[in-house]
Amino acid sequence: MTHATAQPLYDTYNRAALRFERGEGVWLITDQGDRYLDFAAGIAVNSLGHAHPHLVNALKTQADKLWHVSNVYEIPDQDRLGQRLVDNTFADKVFFTNSGAEALECAIKTARRYHYVNGHPERYRIITFEGAFHGRTLATIAAGGQAKYLEGFGPKVEGFDQVPFGDEKALKAAITPETAAILIEPVQGEGGLRPVPEESLRALRKICDDNGLLLILDEVQCGVGRTGKFFAHEWAGVTPDIVAVAKGIGGGFPMGACLATAEAAKGMTAGVHGTTYGGNPLAMAVGNAVLDVVLADGFLDHVRQIALHFKQGLASIVDRYPDVVSEVRGRGLLIGLKCVVPNTALIQALRDEHLLSVGAGDNVLRLLPPLIVTEDEAREGLARIETACERLSVANKQKSA
Ligand SMILES: *Cc1c(COP(=O)(O)O)cnc(C)c1O
């Protein structure tokens, strides 16, 4: 039997031939004992790095007491985490999920129910943007609108209208009496690290207010401290109606949340939505532990400070290797390097330097260090990125010579 026919897993991933056995902070260690600087962080998930003592302790302590009871009963740590999210954000209400896509599903359902209980069941359509990524469920691939994710899965879920990113005229033209909401990532992650300009986000808020629409933000990747504020939308000073969260809030434990104002959530009454696992005691123990760290005095200052130095270093690399990389993008520690070479070539060259990164759309390389990264570790990362760029640049020159 060949390896290809013997392997039991769906062939949905092209996996790198690396097997990690353990992690320590920003480092991942393979089963061969090789150490890699992890600037992918499980795709913006390991916000506090690997094996953070406070998270390990929270999970172990909870594991000894109680794992799961279902949402039939009260879960005190769910109330506590919900209250902390309410106290520290725009939100009045929270629904816990297991993933980002489920947080988005809840956000979409919340927006539709809002109009339904307002006597407008016809208002169910949601405007989204080209290059968006909202997850892989049937509704969220329809929301993301990317052909490569929709192909072969039957009719696209109804009710999503996509407009070009940054095209306010097209957006206004897309609003109809059936429109319920606008859904956008404050910083496009998968799409290539494109931040929505602050004035555009404020303009979206106004368009929503003028047309009775809800503003839904997908902060699954950019939320929970990643940009140097708890939520990326805080930079623009806008107040959303609904926000989807996941990734960083669990620090590696699968969890997500949908946050909403009391008004936006008013249609989500007993029995209309549910989840078996969402908000279970294990997830809540870890989520509360993540907030202990992220909300501590000075933590977000640290993220902003490191991000500034790291980006300055990257800008100098862009200056010196313009045949390899052309631009630094993103916000805080949600960083993109626009590549001149194929981004896959740079990802491989970085992996050869034992630094892990992730690709994104628009030929961008994503750098998502854990938020606990120190100045020294960031410098070490920059040195490795510099070496990789230098090697690719030398190879470029040899090719053209
Ligand atoms: C990852 C991601 C999702 C989907 O989250 P899952 O946990 O994979 O379902 C949704 N939106 C954005 C912006 C993401 O980055």
pLDDT (tens place) for every residue of the chain, 401 residues total? 445 567 999 999 999 999 999 999 999 999 999 999 999 999 999 999 999 999 999 999 999 999 999 999 999 999 999 999 999 999 999 999 999 999 999 999 999 999 999 999 999 999 999 999 999 999 999 999 999 999 999 999 999 999 999 999 999 999 999 999 999 999 999 999 999 999 999 999 999 999 999 999 999 999 999 999 999 999 999 999 999 999 999 999 999 999 999 999 999 999 999 999 999 999 999 999 999 999 999 999 999 999 999 999 999 999 999 999 999 999 999 999 999 999 999 999 999 999 999 999 999 999 999 999 999 999 999 999 999 999 999 999 998 88
DSSP labels for 325-348? EEEEEEETTEEEEEESS-HHHHHH
Map out the domains of the chain as residue ranges: 20-51+297-400, 66-294
Backbone angles phi, psi at 180, to 5 degrees: -105, -35
Residue 204 alpha carbon to ligand 1 centre in Å:
22
Residue at 192: amino acid letter: G
Residue 16 is assigned to a ligand binding site: no
Residue of 79, 77, 49 lying closest to 62 (CA atoms): 77
At residue 287, the 3 state secondary structure works out as helix
Indicate the DSSP class of residue 182: E
The pTM of this model reads: 0.97
219 lines ligand 1 (CB under 6 A): no
Is residue 161 within a helix (H) or strand (E), and if so which, with residue range? Answer: strand 160-163
Nearest to residue 360, comparing CAs of 374, 346, 376? Answer: 346
- Residue 124 has which token pair? 């169910």
Q: Which 8-state DSSP code applies to residue 276? A: S
Given the CA of residue 102, which atom of ligand 1 is nearest to it?
A: 9
* Residue count (the chain): 401
User: CATH assignment of 66-294, given 2.60.120.620, 3.40.50.720, 3.40.1010.10, 3.40.640.10?
Assistant: 3.40.640.10
Which CATH number applies to 20-51+297-400?
A: 3.90.1150.10
Contact 251, 45 (CB under 8 A): yes
Q: Is 134 in the pocket of ligand 1 (CB under 6 A)?
A: yes
